[in-house]
Structure 1
């Protein structure tokens, strides 16, 4: 597929980079160059910042009903371009056409859900025990928001940011990843086609060294929001320290999944295999450390390995394909080296571990399962971000809880047991932002956020709006 040349979107217009720079976009499923994009630099960042700042004065003062009207118009235009959007995600990221629906639907859902949620918000009244004053807390838009988007869910991430920011009254500058910029640039084309108020949304990709540094270090943004690694989050916060800003960051994860011997093993295997190998393991909530009680360990491993071996690896719109490629050659090399190191450190390879022989093009890697792993191995510490599953054996609650919490990050987790007291204990004591018990669910209305090095604030739910709002107290003498 040839997607041609895509321009960035600044101040209501599709534009080339000031420098004229372009960047090639590669399809991880074929290794072919499929498009070029305008590649922004410092000058483009300044133009976007100025446009967003000027637009904020008008957008923030619009009624929520007016903002909702514009967001509805954008939603409807996105729906009309569903096929193009899903194809763009498929070709830039390597997902199957069916899997790309999640990115598309998240944008639609975010544009619809957040303005409705803002309509339901009410100012908070604070009781005065002396009866002498009336107190109100009102929420105001924070200002310009800069959003850095990860490549693994390029439009899902865009929806997580654009929905609450626009509904709250903020203007935004979105920097998509160089690995997956096409779908975001397509949103820019849609915004331009419906004459969306200029400067309210700006979309520009470019280097971290020039574009991101200029955006983060500017004193114009009031909000820096990101989906990325913990290292990237720390860098962005350091660069943004030129002024006091809000931070909303969903960062790295190393999710533990704990399966006790009273669990529904079939359900646990189905869920965790889907989570582990979905999107080729390139998911921040992927179950990286799967802990299984010794009484059901052998059964779990047999079933899980059986699932992994049956997965159809490929690229395209064939509904039979279960897992696509890794995003690029450098990422596949990293995953391959981690697999080799895991073996060298003493793990047992149950299946996978290599490039599929029938996939010479693109960046494919087999669904891979390791057993005989322990917490001293590299794979225990690193965020895998690839189709490698590590299964650990445990005996006691104390042992597995200690292993689960032995981690610098704490985003998502999964627990399989039918023991109520155990559920209460682990949901309370696991050091994570969310615990999924005997199943999992992610949705735009459910809070998603982490603890420790996994970030600040929330994506999704009403809580995400708080990251784009500032509270003001009004006190009036009676």
Structure 2
């Protein structure tokens, strides 16, 4: 069983520390151990990043871009290796892991180009003796806290713009999935990124997080995870007025209008809802179908769901892998049982399977006869369960979709340009999929409204949170 290490100031450290086990959620077996670092190690990483900042930020944009492109190339050359690591520690099907490697590398490629497009500007002065210059400069040391469900892409979506902007970074990956992030650090080392520019610490989230929030050398926090933790970090950030980017929880609605291509909508729902066993922040969580196409949709959707194979992510035929841990499993089952007790019907699924204390699965589930009083219709389930509710009027569907404190992603299916234009403008969500179930891409701004976050990742907007704006007034 390999023992992995932290990466601080270009050195692999932490062999003397207590360790944490990394578990394969398919069978509960320990596949590796990592250091249980704490405040001391986090402070070491912060100091290393601070020391490296002055030289890294002075490199030309082309030089920083070259490093990012080299890391992306190494990732793609080792796609199969990295995909297998992800599947082993997270459980997602290997085909999805391969896709994530490609997706993760695309952020490095995109921001390698955006590094060259950090533009300032000149502004007319108040009179002939004044010149005004506007500069864009890196914010400084960045602390990135990443989730377990996309252990490669959520690192590169932060690493790419941070390094492109001239910042240095410390990554704290999720306790469940540190191995992918560690391998990414190895790729950074192979690419020759200078010592201290990228750092990684695994361990106690409370201690490491407190070090990030209390150390004034950390000028920015970027976090992807639950809304509850995000709110805690926002409160802590106020003490030093740190910059924050937050990609938080979601509860994505999907609306199928009466003029929709039902077959396309069914395939979209399958690809979104059951990807990563439903453990994605933008997957369709609640489906609203017009009464005129409700029966057709439910029948076709249930038939498609019945064909999904549950099993080991390393099996090329698996569509739905294990649930990440027992807590995740119990939340899913609680939502399903609550719905069934309140009158919902399980057309497909409705139960799980516990292998042991560290390995469990949930059958792909379709629920009908649901209503807004059920937990599953207002809490994020994070599992392979699709509740379906009928509606009659467009305004009703939009109101149901917007009746949530979350505003990350929403989806709708219609063939009408007029209807679609009105709906996309009315939905209170940062990401909209119009006849598109997989809208995420490196060149588009990803993020949410309301309690789903602050800021955007991806696109030209994604580099702005890593930059300070400075203006210089020159008298001549």
Report the TM range for the smaller structure's normalisation. Answer: over 0.9
Answer yes or no: is 1:457 the counterpart of 2:451.
no
The one of 116, 134, 137 equivalent to 1:137 is 134
Secondary structure in 2 aligned to 1:154? coil
TM-score by length of 2: 0.96
The one of 28, 31, 44 equivalent to 1:31 is 28
Task: Give the CA deviation at 1:429.
Answer: 1.4
How do residues 424-463 of structure 1 correspond to structure 2 at under 5 angstroms? 424-440=421-437, 441-463=439-461
Alpha-carbon distance between aligned partners in 2 of 1:357 and 1:235, rounded to the nearest angstrom = 32
Which stretch of structure 1 is more off in the superposition, 419-428 or 401-410? 419-428
Task: Give the CA deviation at 1:14.
Answer: 0.8
Alpha-carbon distance between aligned partners in 2 of 1:318 and 1:23, rounded to the nearest angstrom = 27
Task: Give the CA deviation at 1:118.
Answer: 2.1
Q: 1:131 to 1:272 in 2, by over 3 A?
A: farther
Task: Give the CA deviation at 1:130.
Answer: 5.7
The one of 54, 61, 83 equivalent to 1:86 is 83
Alpha-carbon distance between aligned partners in 1 of 2:115 and 2:70, rounded to the nearest angstrom = 17
The one of 351, 356, 381 equivalent to 1:354 is 351
The one of 158, 164, 168 equivalent to 2:165 is 168
Task: Give the CA deviation at 1:246.
Answer: 1.0
- Indicate conservation of the 8 Å contact 1:311/1:367, yes or no: yes
- Indicate conservation of the 8 Å contact 1:92/1:179, yes or no: yes
**Count, aligned residues:** 475
The one of 148, 151, 154 equivalent to 1:154 is 151
Answer yes or no: is 1:108 the counterpart of 2:102.
no
Q: Which runs of 5+ in 1 are unaligned?
A: none
Which stretch of structure 1 is more off in the superposition, 95-104 or 44-53? 95-104
Alpha-carbon distance between aligned partners in 2 of 1:62 and 1:435, rounded to the nearest angstrom = 37
How do residues 282-431 of structure 1 correspond to structure 2 at under 5 angstroms? 282-356=279-353, 362-431=359-428
Equivalent residue, structure 1, for 2:19: 22
The one of 248, 264, 268 equivalent to 1:271 is 268
- Indicate conservation of the 8 Å contact 2:122/2:133, yes or no: yes
TM-score by length of 1: 0.95
Alpha-carbon distance between aligned partners in 2 of 1:346 and 1:267, rounded to the nearest angstrom = 29
Q: Which runs of 5+ in 2 are unaligned?
A: none
Equivalent residue, structure 2, for 1:43: 40
Alpha-carbon distance between aligned partners in 2 of 1:250 and 1:297, rounded to the nearest angstrom = 33
Alpha-carbon distance between aligned partners in 2 of 1:23 and 1:359, rounded to the nearest angstrom = 19
RMSD of the TM alignment (CA)? 1.9
The one of 6, 31, 48 equivalent to 1:8 is 6
Secondary structure in 2 aligned to 1:346? coil
Secondary structure in 1 aligned to 2:103? helix
Which stretch of structure 1 is more off in the superposition, 296-305 or 353-362? 353-362
Task: Give the CA deviation at 1:346.
Answer: 1.6
Equivalent residue, structure 2, for 1:261: 258
Which stretch of structure 1 is more off in the superposition, 110-119 or 243-252? 110-119
Answer yes or no: is 1:476 the counterpart of 2:474.
yes
- Indicate conservation of the 8 Å contact 2:100/2:153, yes or no: yes
Q: 1:260 to 1:49 in 2, by over 3 A?
A: same
